Amino acid sequence: MWGLGRSLRSSLVPLSPWTLSLSHTGRSCHRASAHGANSALNFSDGKVFRLKSRWEVMRGLLIFQMCSFPTLVKNSEKLMGVSRRLLGRRLFEWGMRSTVYGQFVAGETLPEIQASMERLRKLGIRPMLAVPIEEDLGEGKTGELWYEQNEAIMMNCVDLSSLGGDRPMMQLKITALMSADLCKVLSGCLSDPSQRKALSPHSMVSIMEGEDSKFSFLSEQQNQHLQNSVRRLSRVGKHAVQKQVRVLVDAEYTYMNPALSLVTMAMMAQCNREEPWIWNTYQCYLKDSLRNLSQDLDTAVGLGLCFGVKLVRGAYMDKERKLAKIKGYPDPIQPDWEATNRSYNGCLDKLLDLIGQQGPRYNLIVASHNEESVLHAVRRMTDLGIDKPSGAICFGQLLGMCDHVSLTLGQAGYLVYKSIPYGSVDSVLPYLVRRAQENQSVLQGIRKERDLLHQEWKRRLLGRN
């Protein structure tokens, strides 16, 4: 059951500090904060790496050094293919498990995944499991079988996440359970005022609870798939509530995000009456991120719902800009790095203020590798009197990256999660390769963590205290 094998496939979840399904930004993962000297948290001394084993330090150095060469990253898929042919399947998989796979993936079997979660817990870090499955345009499967199989995988992910200790979380890709093509169609319908009125959270909930989907602007096949899809999402959401697992729904591409937000709000309407079990993701590298967040907050208030947010910078910048240029519509991405930071901090402050005023009805994960954003959130938590263990605010980074931030936060008593994909080597490696290739500039921006690991390795070699 836990060896997912062929059921898992490569996804578009970004393996980069621009996102956390995963969801962060890497440029400032290595930038020193101007306020670092005034903070009790120090992301620059590297002492937290003393918590790592000798092999973990050495492996991290090796991986980050490899990631610093764009040519190597660009051709990584071809190089792995050659290595597989030369070494054979077994030796190749052993090498991958010892290096790249071991750095970024929790494992494949139940014992492996549990061992990974236990290692994190001992370091003061919580696991947030992510199944690397999603679908993009033109990849639609024939019939419902693929999506039904993915529902079973997501249910298993809920069960496994429930073993992860207090306040467990998991990530969910809507396009693992609903066709990306239908998501694009629905997003287009939501831009039409008359159709948008029909496509409401209330109408989605009605379908989830047994009403037939009969939208005149959808074909019979689309209506049937919508009906099956939202019921799958409903079952996963209700199972998560039963298991006390928070589900963080990932954002994806702009051409499907409106539909993703619609069905996520419907899941919230079913599950978030007393507590925020279903969370939505907001990509602050988009120009309309604050507006979208504000609109969804208003909708949640109108429906009397609790509201959870995963706040990221974004992951699909290059493809979004390329699509905008090809299709001839305005670039949806913020014009520069500073504008993205302003967007992120604006959304962050809005949510922090809400949490400071209304407490547990609003939850937030600061899903970022950006040291300045993390320190800003920490300072505001102190100013607003928000307790670390309350769970209202937590932090998240990707497994295997920016550990100097994650470990420092965990050792200081903050709730910090690592987004950890799991699955077979064959199913997860294509996902890792694609993420690395889409974010080469980010991977070159891990110099600080690499230098801290080098200092720790040198300290051990010299036998210094």
CA distance 365 to 249: 12
* CB count in 10 Å sphere of residue 139: 13
Burial of 390 (0-12, 13-18, 19+ CB in 10 A): middle
Are the CB atoms for 276 and 308 separated by under 8 Å? Answer: yes
Matching residue, tokens 């070159």:
444
The predicted structure's pLDDT at residue 10: 32
Phi, psi of 339 (to 5 degrees): -65, -40
* Architecture field, domain 5-462: Alpha-Beta Barrel (3.20)
CA distance 444 to 117: 28
> Tell me, what DSSP letter sits at residue 178?
S
pTM confidence score: 0.86
Backbone angle region of 251, left / alpha / beta, with phi > 0 → left and psi within -120 to 50 → alpha: beta
> Tell me, what DSSP letter sits at residue 253?
-
CA distance 154 to 195: 31
Are the CB atoms for 303 and 269 separated by under 8 Å? Answer: yes
Strand-strand pairing, 169-172 and 126-130:
parallel
CA distance 243 to 162: 6
CA distance 131 to 137: 19
**Domain ranges, ordered by start, for the chain:** 5-462
Task: Write out the chain's pLDDT in tens, 465 residues.
Answer: 233 333 333 332 333 333 333 333 344 443 333 344 344 788 888 888 888 889 889 998 888 887 777 677 677 777 777 888 888 888 888 888 888 888 899 999 989 999 999 999 999 999 999 988 877 766 666 678 999 999 999 999 999 999 988 899 999 999 999 999 999 999 999 999 889 999 999 999 999 999 999 999 999 999 999 999 999 999 999 999 999 999 999 999 999 999 999 999 999 999 999 999 999 999 999 999 999 999 999 999 999 999 999 999 987 888 888 999 998 999 999 999 899 999 999 999 999 999 998 878 999 999 998 899 999 999 999 999 999 988 899 999 989 888 999 999 999 999 999 999 999 888 888 777 766 655 555 555 578 888 898 898 998 988 866
Closest to 420 measured CA to CA, from 105, 52, 110: 105
